């Protein structure tokens, strides 16, 4: 199993998310253990894809537990059960940031909010 | 310290040999004083050798608690890496196990433990040679199990040595 196809897939997901060809939505009905924040879902080429941040426990050399964060990109079936989790790819965090930005609507909010008159007092 | 003792031991043994040769050459083999000094050399060499072995054991005993923690932590990290499909976590854990095993003074261990350490070291090195993402999860899981088991065996062995 070569990691290269995963990199290319996530890279393309990122570019098509940026230009609006792929739309993501928050999937509050999907549950994942140790997920951080919202879980996002989209459909590309009849394949459901789920994206989210999660945390996992690590242990240092003194066996002290700590937490680290990762991004999961998963193929899921119609019932959102895991089919395949991608190994970490170079663009995974960029994709998550972009999806969060799009889904949160921060751009529209900023456009509206920053252009409105300051009516304090 | 350990290297110094090995050299001292070798020098003592060599000196005893030279002394014995000198006795033969000088025809003093029947001289009791000469034999006593030769025995002195031999005993001092043996004592230095035993001291060196003891120093090695003490050194291992002092390091074992940190090593076993490291082995257990790495074993747990391999589990996390396997569960979450994170190859670099597995690679880091394998590297940590390898470093722990390399730092272990294998010669100072009992034979059974030595064999386990060497076997695990070979498995870890073989897995590290495989590119990340293509390692067999089953083999990684086997290393995880063996690293945890070795940590326990090391602790038991150290308890036996202390008692």
Q: Which residues of chain A have pLDDT under 50?
A: 1, 3
CB distance B105 to B134 below 8 Å? no
Residue of A1, A61, A64, A82 to mutate for B, most B C-beta atoms under 10 A: A61
What backbone torsions phi and psi does residue A37 show, to the nearest 5 degrees?
80, -160
Helix or strand holding residue A20 (H, E): none
Task: Please check whether residue A45 touches B, CB under 8 A.
Answer: no
Question: B 62-91 residues with CB below 8 A of A?
Answer: 66, 69-70, 72-74, 76-77, 80, 83-89
Residues B87-133: tens digit of each pLDDT: 889 999 999 999 999 888 777 788 888 899 999 999 999 999 988 77
Nearest residue of chain B to residue A58 (CA atoms): B77
Flag whether pLDDT at B2 surpasses 60: no
How many CB pairs below 8 Å do chains A and B form together? 50
Helix or strand holding residue A59 (H, E): strand A47-59
Q: Distance between CA atoms of B105 and B157, rounded to whole angstroms?
A: 14
Q: Distance between CA atoms of A76 and A37, rounded to whole angstroms?
A: 19
Q: Give the model's pLDDT for residue B61.
A: 78
Residue of B63, B71, B72, B73 to mutate for A, most A C-beta atoms under 10 A: B73
Q: Distance between CA atoms of B124 and B133, rounded to whole angstroms?
A: 15
Residue A31, SS3?
A: coil
Q: Give the model's pLDDT for residue A2.
A: 52
Task: Please check whether residue A67 touches B, CB under 8 A.
Answer: no
Q: Give the model's pLDDT for residue A1.
A: 47
DSSP string, A62-78: T--EEEEEEEEEEEE-T
ipTM exceeding 0.85, yes/no: no
Residues paired with A70 in a beta bridge: A54
Query: Percent of chain B at pLDDT above 90?
Result: 35
Average pLDDT, chain B: 83
CB distance B157 to B109 below 8 Å? yes
Residue of B82, B84, B134 to mutate for A, most A C-beta atoms under 10 A: B84
Flag whether pLDDT at B66 surpasses 60: yes
Task: Please check whether residue A117 touches B, CB under 8 A.
Answer: no
Query: Percent of chain B at pLDDT above 70?
Result: 89
CB distance A52 to A69 below 8 Å? no
Q: Give the model's pLDDT for residue B3.
A: 61
User: Which residue in this structure is represented by tokens 């590297």?
Assistant: B95
């Amino acid at each position: 199993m070569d990691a290269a196809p995963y990199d290319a897939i996530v890279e393309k997901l990122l570019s098509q998310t940026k230009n609006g060809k792929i739309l993501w939505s928050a999937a509050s009905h999907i549950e994942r253990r140790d997920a951080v924040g919202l879980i996002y879902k989209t459909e590309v080429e009849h394949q459901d894809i789920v994206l989210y941040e999660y945390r996992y426990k690590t242990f240092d050399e003194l066996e002290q537990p700590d937490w680290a964060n990762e991004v999961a990109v998963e193929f899921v079936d119609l019932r959102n059960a895991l089919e395949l989790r991608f190994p970490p790819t170079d663009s995974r965090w960029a994709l998550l940031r972009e999806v969060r930005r799009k889904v949160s609507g921060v751009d529209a909010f900023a456009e509206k909010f920053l252009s409105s008159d300051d009516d304090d007092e | 310290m350990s290297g110094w003792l090995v050299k001292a031991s070798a020098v003592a043994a060599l000196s005893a040999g030279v002394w014995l040769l000198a006795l033969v050459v000088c025809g003093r083999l029947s001289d009791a004083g000469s034999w006593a000094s030769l025995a002195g050399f031999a005993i001092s060499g043996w004592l230095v050798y035993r001291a060196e072995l003891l120093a090695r054991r003490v050194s291992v005993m002092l390091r074992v608690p940190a090593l076993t923690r490291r082995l257990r932590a790495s074993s747990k990290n391999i589990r996390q890496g396997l569960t979450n499909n994170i190859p670099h976590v597995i690679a880091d854990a394998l590297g940590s196990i390898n470093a722990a095993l390399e730092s272990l003074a294998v010669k100072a261990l009992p034979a059974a433990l030595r064999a386990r350490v060497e076997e695990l070291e070979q498995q870890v090195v073989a897995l590290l040679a495989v590119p990340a993402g293509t390692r067999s999860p089953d083999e990684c899981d086997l290393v995880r199990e063996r690293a945890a088991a070795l940590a326990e065996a090391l602790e038991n062995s150290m308890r036996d040595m202390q008692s």
